[in-house]
Structure 1
Amino acid sequence: NRCRFYKQRYPNPNELVVVRKLTVEQNSVIKVLLCEYGALESMLPFAATGLTCGRHETIEGQLATLGNQFVVQVTRIDQATGFLDLDRKSVSDEQSAATLAKYQKNQLVVSFVLSILKKLEPLQIEEVYEQFIWTLNNPYDDFIAMTESEEKMSAYIDSKQITDEQKHDIKQIINTRFKQNPCHIYVLCKAVSSYSVLGVEVIKKAAKATLELFDMEVGQDEKPLQIVIESAPNYKLEMVTKNKKEGKAKMQQYYDFFKAEITKMGGQCHSEQ
């Protein structure tokens, strides 16, 4: 399905884009489709591919080494005519791999847009993109980031001017397509209380204060923090979350708080990892 990933109709000069090979013309020019720009087609001279043909080789045979999709750079664009100059020779292997990875990730969002299109009739595809994707600051990255938090995504869908039934259906589609597996995050630490007879009480008070803080902030996608005695004075702070990045940041916050509470009461706490 040919659909445009971005609000702009044409790529910018020097932009790296993914193209799909369509045909090889008689004058050694390859007809390609710009995969992220809908039905936009262009021509890529074989000389601009960086490939060479030996005496017994064909252009088609050499192009087969690239696969059906590969990355090129837009060197010039005439927006009045839609004519593009493309070049592959200047694209490094690292740039190619990063662009293809980004394209594959963005396709998840494109697939989502296509799947909700029927739910939002009579809206056209560009109207759906405009309402759900293009209005974001960094459309694809921001949308994918929101799918990692059921709470944030639910609030985002609820903000749209659509029916409650449509909101429910779209949330179900998101939960299916962008399902996040629970992530177990933990910190092992060693906590001692300067060999005081109140050592156990110090640990209990620090743990109680940390758990109370966490209970006030626990998110919809998380299971409460637990502080477990492995074998005194070794402890484990652990939690389960669907958002690994946010979960690690939160775990660091709670470990720092736990450590500060112990230090405040004359104890010491050291992370084991």
Structure 2
Amino acid sequence: MSDFNCRMYEKKYPEENELVMVTVTSVGEMGVYVSLLEYNNIEGMILLSEISRRRIRSLTKLVRVGRQEVVVVVRVDKEKGYIDLSKRRVTPEEITKCEERYNKSKAVHSIIRHLATRLTMDEKVIKPKQLYKQFGWALYTKYQHAYDAFRLSISEPAVFEGFDISPDQLKVLMEIISHKLKPQPMKIRADLEMTCFDYEGIDAIKAAVLASQNHAIQFAQKNAEGQIDDKSFGVVTVTLIAPPLYVMVGTFDDKEKGLAMLSKCVEILGEELEKRKGRLTVKIPARAVGASDDQELDDLMEQLERENELVDGDNSDEDEDEN
């Protein structure tokens, strides 16, 4: 399938200051070697000084082989093929922005590759790069992103008029787009801190969480009964990370409606907790999260679990000494 690999964009190399999605391939003495997923997996390097703003105590905790990272391009030497990257200069907002763009580009790339495969079965070998040259890269120019053109074509097939695409190719392309571009659920998350030092502390927090979730459940019931028409709704859950840290998460088809729903649930949670002499602090408001956020959350939970195990082990040793 190497013939079906190619870059996602017309330019061969990224530009300086451009955000790119990479996969970590190895860790060396000079830095971390990565492959640029949007540029046909060409190699780049994150120098050790560009990995973190803080002092690096354990490199393996910051980067892992096989993990995807959002980095920014610091320098490109097109003659030698060197690409220097930085992880420490990327802000959380830029990570979200890059992940959204990459997910759209990945969807486009999947459609182009699938189209090339389908056409190759009936005609001579058609490579994805040929289809990008025909119309893919031109769609990026006209619509800012080819994904937006593909989505628009579901309701307005005239999107492809004027582009170098044959009727047979267009027929197959529309079949693939209709199949692949179903609404993709989006995860919305808020990071919270909940405390209640009253006698019913734990029960108060549970009751407040239940009240906030009931708001989402009632919305779902009204939707199911036809009282409202909103298919973007998703289930809302609250998970304990480590007292007093919690996360509220919901999955929605519509980003804006998801943000509104989760924000309302957080508001209700705060009101209900205050009634029970508790306190809610919103550490990070509701926002769309991606794979890197989930990975960071999993890493945090693993770290806290290990720390708890160490504490439990220390207590056990102390008990044995006392005996």
Q: One fold, TM greater than 0.5?
A: yes
Deviations, residues 151-202 of structure 1 (Å, cap 9, x unaligned): 533561795443x444322221111112469xxxxxxxxxxxxxxxxxxxxx
Q: The residue matched to 2:39 in structure 1 has which SS?
A: coil
Q: Summarize deviations over 1:204-256 as a string: whole Å, max 9, x none.
A: xxxxxxxxxxxxxxxxxxxxxxxxxxxxxxxxxxxxxxxx9xxxxxxxxxxxx
Deviations 1:15-71 (A, max 9, x none): 11111100111x1511100111103101212221115333xxx3223324x981111
Q: In structure 1, how many angstroms separate the alpha carbons of the residues matched to 2:154 and 2:174?
A: 9
> Paired residue for 2:88?
89
- Residue 20 (structure 1) aligns with: 23
CA 1:125–1:3: 2 relative to 1, 3 Å: same
1:153 to 148, 152, 157: 157
Unaligned runs of 5+ in 2: 185-253, 255-323
Question: 1:146 touches 1:152 (CA, 8 Å); kept in 2?
Answer: no
Partner of 1:113: 112
Alignment of 1:67-146 (within 5 A): 68-121=67-120, 122-136=125-139, 137-138=141-142, 141-146=145-150
What TM-score do you get using the length of structure 1 for normalisation?
0.57
Q: Identify, as 1 or 2, the structure richer in helix.
A: 2
Q: Which amino acid aligns with 2:180?
A: R
1:38 pairs with 2:50? no
Give RMSD over aligned pairs. Answer: 2.9
Equivalences, count: 177
State the AA in 2 paired with 1:59: L
Change (3 A) 1:9 1:116: same
What pairs up with 1:91-240 in 2 under 5 angstroms? 91-121=90-120, 122-136=125-139, 137-138=141-142, 141-153=145-157, 156=160, 160-162=164-166, 164-179=167-182
Q: Percent of aligned pairs with the same residue?
A: 26
The structure having more radius of gyration, on CA atoms, is: 1
TM-score, normalised on structure 2? Answer: 0.49
| Secondary structure class of the residue paired with 1:75 | strand
Alpha-carbon separation, structure 2, partners of 1:104 and 1:69: 12
Instruction: Specify whether residues 159 and 67 from structure 1 end up closer, same or farther in structure 2 by C-alpha distance, changes over 3 A only.
Output: closer
Q: Which amino acid aligns with 1:123?
A: I
1:135 partner SS: helix
Query: Is 1:48–1:86's contact at 8 Å kept on the other side of the alignment?
Result: yes
Matches within 5 A, 1:243-258: none
Q: Could you say if the C-alpha distance between residues 171 and 89 of structure 1 is closer, same or farther in structure 2, counting changes exceeding 3 Å?
A: same
Cα distance in 2 between the residues matched to 1:177 and 1:79 = 35
Structure 1 residue 149 displacement after superposition: 4.1
